[in-house]
Amino acid sequence: MIENRHTQVYDSAKRAPRPIEELRQVFRYRYLIAQLLRRDVMTRYKRSVLGIAWTMINPLGTMLVLSIAFSQVFKFVEGYSAFVLSGLMAWNFFSQASTAAIINLVWGGGLLKRVYIPRTAFALAAIGTGLVNLGFSLIPLVVVLLINRIPIGWAFLFLPVPVLLMAMFSLGVGLLISSFAIYYPDVAEMYQIILTAWMYLTPVIYPAEVMPEFARNLVQILNPMYWMVELFRAPIYLGQIPGWSAIWPSLLVCTLTLVIGWWVFCTRSDEMAYRI
């Protein structure tokens, strides 16, 4: 490894297009991304007493509050706490991972001006951190399912599919917004407001059936998170594996978002170093 570093040649004129070059560099710096991920996971809770347990307590607490507030309203939803927790896990993953991708980059901006590292490294590490946290929150989920007597079946094995789709989508959105947030920090603030509105337009705390027909149709078309929350929830709450017809629109949207986000971010990333 150390030997082949010495044959390294950098020629600024002979570079592949930025988005492709970036992929190559990400692979070369995969250890850095692993280290950044470790740092994110470890520093987040390092100075707290309960430590990593917070990744589990956090969704549980929200679930508890929402269950108390809404279980009477949505009386017809059986096992509301399991319903809401599965939705929250999906939503929190998306909102936290995409936000962290933006925040990390703004934080890392100073670093990018001093040393060379692939500029997507921070966003990738943020998504990885989100995946780790999601993994931890599966533990309280199982407990809640058991309490609600919802069987845990083979359908659980389908979960990696919606998780992967959400990871792609979060990365795409995170990079796209980062392309702007790097110049104007308040874009990150605006994104928080958008996220709040976005959550209420996604069937996280209410079942999709309560939406009026026209609104539901509209949301289905415009809100990719609608499908992803449903895809994530179905195997957990209903014990069903969604059909291909429910998967392909999400696959298409997520792939597109990721490609566009990656492309925009990478082509603008050179300018980032000049202007941060």
Partner 1 sequence: MRYRAPTERFATFKEYMIRLVQGRVRHAEFMAVNHISLDIYPGEVFGVIGQNGAGKSTLLKVAARVLPPTEGRVVIKGWTAALLELGAGFHPELTGRENIFLNGAILGFTQKEMAALFDQVVDFSELGEFIEAPMRTYSSGMWTRLGFAVATVQRPDILLIDEVLGVGDEAFQKKSFRRIQEFSEKGTTILFVSHSMDAVATMCQRAAWLDHGVLKFLGEPKDVINAYRASFQNGN
Q: For residue 11, state whether it binds partner 1 (rule: CB under 8 A).
A: yes
Stretch of 31-39, 128-136, 152-160, 207-215 lying at the interface with partner 1 (CB under 8 A)? 31-39
**Quick one: 214 or 274, whose CB is closer to partner 1?**
274
Whole-number Å distance between alpha carbons of 177 and 99: 9
Q: Which residues of 162-189 are buried (b: 16+ CB within 10 A; e: fewer)?
A: bbebbbbbbbbbbbbbbbbbbeeeebbe
Distance of CA 75 to the CA centre of its chain: 30
Q: For residue 270, state whether it binds partner 1 (rule: CB under 8 A).
A: yes
Q: How far is the CB of 21 from partner 1 (least distance, A)?
A: 10
* 8 token code pair: 């390294």
Q: For residue 186, state whether it binds partner 1 (rule: CB under 8 A).
A: yes
Are 152 and 240 within 8 A, CB to CB?
Answer: no
Are 111 and 117 within 8 A, CB to CB?
Answer: yes
Q: For residue 248, state whether it binds partner 1 (rule: CB under 8 A).
A: no
Stretch of 108-116, 134-142, 226-234, 248-256 lying at the interface with partner 1 (CB under 8 A)? 108-116
Are 112 and 232 within 8 A, CB to CB?
Answer: no
Q: How far is the CB of 55 from partner 1 (least distance, A)?
A: 17
Q: Residues 16, 69, 146, 190: which binds partner 1 (CB under 8 A)?
A: 190
Q: x/- binding map, residues 123-162, to partner 1, per CB under 8 A? A: ----------------------------------------
Q: Residues 27, 184, 200, 248: which binds partner 1 (CB under 8 A)?
A: 184
Q: For residue 27, state whether it binds partner 1 (rule: CB under 8 A).
A: no
Whole-number Å distance between alpha carbons of 134 and 140: 11
With a CB cutoff of 8 Å and minimum separation 6, the contacts of 20 are: none
Q: For residue 6, state whether it binds partner 1 (rule: CB under 8 A).
A: yes
Q: For residue 13, state whether it binds partner 1 (rule: CB under 8 A).
A: yes
Are 173 and 257 within 8 A, CB to CB?
Answer: yes
Q: How far is the CB of 172 from partner 1 (least distance, A)?
A: 20
Q: For residue 221, state whether it binds partner 1 (rule: CB under 8 A).
A: no
Place of tokens 């429910």: 246
Q: Is residue 149 classed as helix, strand or coil in its secondary structure?
A: coil
Are 148 and 232 within 8 A, CB to CB?
Answer: no
Total binding residues for partner 1 by CB under 8 A?
Answer: 44
With a CB cutoff of 8 Å and minimum separation 6, the contacts of 36 are: 104, 121, 122, 125
Stretch of 26-34, 148-156, 208-216, 242-250 lying at the interface with partner 1 (CB under 8 A)? 26-34
- Name the residues that contact partner 1, by CB under 8 A: 1-2, 5-6, 8-13, 15, 28-29, 31-32, 34-36, 38-39, 42-43, 46-47, 110-117, 180, 183-187, 190, 270-271, 273-275
